[in-house]
């Protein structure tokens, strides 16, 4: 057997280069978290998404295979199991808390920061709701109850901004100890709103101011009525009061149809023919005690 010949300088360089390449550090990916932090209120949740991208490769969403943790679980919780990995929920007001995301495959770690604020208003219920009926010069105190992002409730009558959509029908006080006090001005309807000045969340109730005396009867016209399939017809409701006067209540009453497959009826009394047949159109006063009806025939 002939003795082995030593490697040439060129061959040795090739071998050393290959060995060096095989020992080089593996490529480390870039890990991106969106949104990149922010602000949440106690009880409010935000879903984070983790995206991993290796050099020269397309990005991939890896939210469900990352390891998620919080620097302050008492103030900021993050889900690390099930199908909701990366779901961040504020728990306790704190100036800053960090969400840490670890990629077990590459070892790359990324963090984002959150400020957790006190619970915020998520909805407002104005009472009485959904409506109340007043006579001219009558007053009624409204209350506003807020549901907060952490599920608790609070009386916010004194802190919301009160407004009336129709001052000719009813006004509402927005200052001092009378905040939320509604005063009936003249027959008509007003939507009274209570708005949280921070979140701009709005609660609403409707105020109906009746005419002189009580409504004794309601008449609906035309009666009988007819409309073709696909056509529209507007009904008018007139209230007849105890003192003998009458007033149109088309916008104040609630409209109903006895056969929804034959015709629909919209707020304001506009009926639409759907299929041939007969249905009864009914107007109900805001108290629910007085109603009037008309027969509607839908022709082919």
Domains present along the chain, CATH in parentheses: 28-117 (2.60.40.1080), 121-210 (2.60.40.10), 215-299 (2.60.40.10)
Go through the chain and tell me how many residues it has: 300
pLDDT > 70? residue 7:
no
Question: Residue 3's pLDDT band (boundaries 50, 70, 90)?
Answer: low
Position 12 scores a pLDDT of 44
User: What is the rounded CA–CA span in Å between residue 276 and residue 36?
Assistant: 58
Number of H helices, E strands in the chain: 1, 30
From 74, 61, 66, select the one nearest 101 (Cα to Cα): 66
User: Phi, psi at residue 106, to the nearest 5°?
Assistant: -100, -15
Q: Is the torsion defined by CA of 114, 37, 91, 153 positive or negative?
A: positive
pLDDT in tens, 99-142: 999 999 999 999 999 999 999 999 999 999 888 888 778 899 99
User: What is the rounded CA–CA span in Å between residue 42 and residue 154?
Assistant: 15
User: Taking the model in full, what pTM does it have?
Assistant: 0.56
Average pLDDT of the residues in 39-52: 96
List the structure tokens of 108: 């790359």
Q: Is 192 helix (H, G, I), strand (E, B) or coil?
A: strand
User: What is the rounded CA–CA span in Å between residue 247 and residue 253?
Assistant: 12
């Amino acid at each position: 057997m002939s003795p082995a010949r030593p490697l040439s300088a060129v061959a040795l360089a090739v071998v050393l280069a290959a060995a060096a390449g095989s020992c080089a550090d593996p490529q480390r990916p870039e890990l991106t978290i969106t949104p990149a932090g922010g602000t949440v209120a106690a009880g409010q949740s935000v879903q984070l998404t983790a995206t991993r991208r290796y050099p020269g490769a397309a990005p991939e969403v890896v939210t469900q295979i990352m390891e998620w943790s919080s620097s302050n679980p008492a103030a900021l919780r993050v889900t690390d199991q099930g199908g909701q990995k990366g779901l961040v929920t504020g728990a306790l007001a704190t100036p800053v808390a960090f969400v840490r995301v670890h990629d077990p495959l590459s070892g790359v770690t990324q963090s984002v920061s959150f400020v957790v604020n006190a619970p915020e208003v998520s909805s407002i219920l104005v009472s009485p709701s959904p409506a109340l009926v007043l006579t001219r010069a009558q007053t009624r105190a409204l209350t506003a109850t807020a549901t907060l992002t952490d599920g608790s409730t609070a009386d916010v009558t004194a802190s919301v901004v009160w407004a009336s959509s129709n001052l000719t029908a009813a006004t509402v006080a927005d200052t001092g100890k009378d905040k939320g006090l509604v005063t009936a001005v003249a027959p008509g309807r007003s939507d009274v709103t209570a708005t949280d000045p921070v979140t701009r969340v709005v609660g609403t109730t409707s105020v109906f101011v009746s005419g002189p005396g009580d409504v004794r009867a309601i008449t609906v016209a035309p009666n009988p009525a007819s409309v073709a399939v696909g056509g529209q017809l507007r009904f008018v409701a007139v209230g007849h009061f105890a003192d003998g006067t009458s007033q149109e209540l088309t916008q104040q009453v609630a409209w109903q149809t006895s056969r929804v497959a034959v015709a629909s009826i919209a707020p304001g009394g506009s009926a639409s023919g759907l299929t041939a047949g007969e249905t009864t159109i009914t107007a109900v006063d805001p108290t629910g005690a007085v109603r009037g009806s008309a027969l509607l025939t839908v022709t082919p």
